[in-house]
Amino acid sequence: MTSSTLHKSRSAERALHLLDTVVTAGSISLGDAARAVDLPTSTALRHLRALEHDGYLDRDPHGMFSVGPTFLRLALTSLREGPAAHLTTAARPHLDRLAETTGESAYLAVRERSRAVYIATAESTRAIRHVGWVGRTVPLSGTAVGTTLTGDGEATVLRNTGGVEPDVAAAVAPVMGPDGTVVAAISVLGPSSRLDDTSTDTVTTAVLVAAEALSRDLRGPT
Cα pseudo-dihedral 103, 104, 105, 106, rounded to 10: -80
DSSP characters for 63-103? --EEE-HHHHHHHHHHHHHSTTHHHHHHHHHHHHHHHHHHS
Q: Residue 176 half-sphere exposure, CB side, CA atoms within 13 Å?
A: 18
What domains are defined for the chain?
3-73 (1.10.10.10), 83-219 (3.30.450.40)
Say how far apart CA 54 and CA 93 lie, in whole Å: 35
- 92-140 residue pLDDT tens: 999 999 999 998 999 999 998 788 888 889 988 877 666 667 777 888 8
State whether residue 145 is helix, strand or coil: helix
Phi/psi at 143 (5° precision):
-125, 150
What is the pTM assigned to this prediction?
0.69
